[in-house]
Amino acid sequence: MTQKRRLGIMGGTFDPIHHGHLVAASEVAHFYSLDEVVFVPTGLSSHKEGRKVAAAEDRYLMAVIATASNPAFSVSRVDIDRPGPTYTVDTLRDMRQIHGPDAELFFITGADALEKMLTWHDTDELFELAHFVGVTRPGHRLADPGLPDGRVSLMEVPALSISSTECRERVHSGEPIWYLVPDGIVQYINKRDLYRADAA
Ligand code: ATP
Ligand code: MG
C-alpha cells in the first residue's frame, strides 16, 4: 500500500513573505516528514482591516519567488482567486478537493494566529479537515490549555523575530531588509516600489 501524501498548508497574508515563514515551513516539513508545503496567500483578509494590503498578485508573486528554489514548496492561488475575504475553512475545503481524500493535511500557523483561530466559530470542522501545527514566534507563548486533544500540536522553531509589519516599516523608512527576506524579495519590492507610501 502506498503511503498517504502528507501535505503542509501555510496560509498567510505574506505582505511580504519573509524568512520567518520559510523557516517555520521548513522545520514543520522536516519534523512531520511532509511531502510538500503549499503556501496560500490570502485574498482579502478578514483580519487585516484598517490597513492597506499589497495587491494579491504582488503577494502571490513574492511567494512564488521566495519558494522557487525549494522542490518541496509550492504556492496556491485558491484564496486569491476566490472572491471575498479568506476563511481558513474554505482554504482547507479547497485543498481537500484538489488533493483528494487520501491526502493528510497539516495546517501550519504561528502561535499568534493559532490563538485567534481558537476564538473563531466552527473550529470543529477545521479540526476535522486538518491537523494544526502551531509554531512558536518570538513574543508569543505557547501552551494553551484549551487546545483540542490530538488535533493541534505545538512545535518550537528557531526563534526568528521577523514580521511582515517590521519589513514594511523598514522599507517605508528606508532601512534595509536584506537577509530578513530572500534576496529576490528585496529586489521585487524595489522593482514594484512596494511599501514606500502608506506603509504599515
Ligand atoms: P504581519 O506583521 O503583517 O501580521 P506576519 O509576519 O505575521 O505579518 P502573516 O502573513 O500574517 O505574516 O503570517 C502568516 C503565518 O506565518 C501566520 O500563521 C504567522 O503566525 C506565521 N508567522 C509569521 N512570522 C513568523 C515567524 N517569524 N516565525 C514563525 N511563524 C511566523
Ligand atoms: Mg501576522
Burial class (CB in 10 A: 0-12, 13-18, 19+), 11: buried
CATH of the domain at 103: 3.40.50.620
Examine residue 193 and state whether it is found in any structural domain, yes or no: no
Cβ of 45 closer than 6 Å to ligand 1, yes or no, is no
Examine residue 153 and state whether it is found in any structural domain, yes or no: yes
> How far is 28 from 127, CA to CA, in rounded Å?
18
**Domain range for 148:** 6-159
Cβ of 112 closer than 6 Å to ligand 1, yes or no, is yes
The dihedrals phi and psi of 101, each to the nearest 5 degrees, come to -70, -15
Examine residue 198 and state whether it is found in any structural domain, yes or no: no
Nearest CA to ligand 1 atom 8: 164
Report which ligand 1 atom has the smallest distance to the Cα of 10.
15
Examine residue 66 and state whether it is found in any structural domain, yes or no: yes
pLDDT value at 78 more than 90: yes
pLDDT tens-digit map of 116-140: 887 776 788 899 999 999 998 777 6
Nearest CA to ligand 1 atom 13: 12
Interval between CA 3 and ligand 2 midpoint (Å): 34
> How far is 190 from 183, CA to CA, in rounded Å?
11
pTM above 0.80, yes or no: yes
Nearest CA to ligand 1 atom 28: 20
Query: Measured in whole angstroms, how far is the alpha carbon of residue 158 from the centre of its chain?
Result: 17
SS3 of residue 169 by DSSP = helix
Interval between CA 109 and ligand 2 midpoint (Å): 10
Examine residue 181 and state whether it is found in any structural domain, yes or no: no
**Cis? peptide before 16, omega within 30° of 0:** yes
Examine residue 117 and state whether it is found in any structural domain, yes or no: yes
Cβ of 24 closer than 6 Å to ligand 1, yes or no, is yes
Cβ of 58 closer than 6 Å to ligand 1, yes or no, is no
> How far is 12 from 53, CA to CA, in rounded Å?
12
The dihedrals phi and psi of 133, each to the nearest 5 degrees, come to -115, 115
Q: Which residues pair with 178 in a beta bridge?
A: 181
pLDDT value at 200 more than 60: no
ipTM of model:
0.98
Cβ of 173 closer than 6 Å to ligand 1, yes or no, is no
Examine residue 179 and state whether it is found in any structural domain, yes or no: no
Examine residue 178 and state whether it is found in any structural domain, yes or no: no
As for how many domains the chain has, the answer is 1
Q: Which pLDDT band holds residue 148 (cuts at 50, 70, 90)? A: low
pLDDT tens-digit map of 45-65: 545 556 777 899 999 999 999
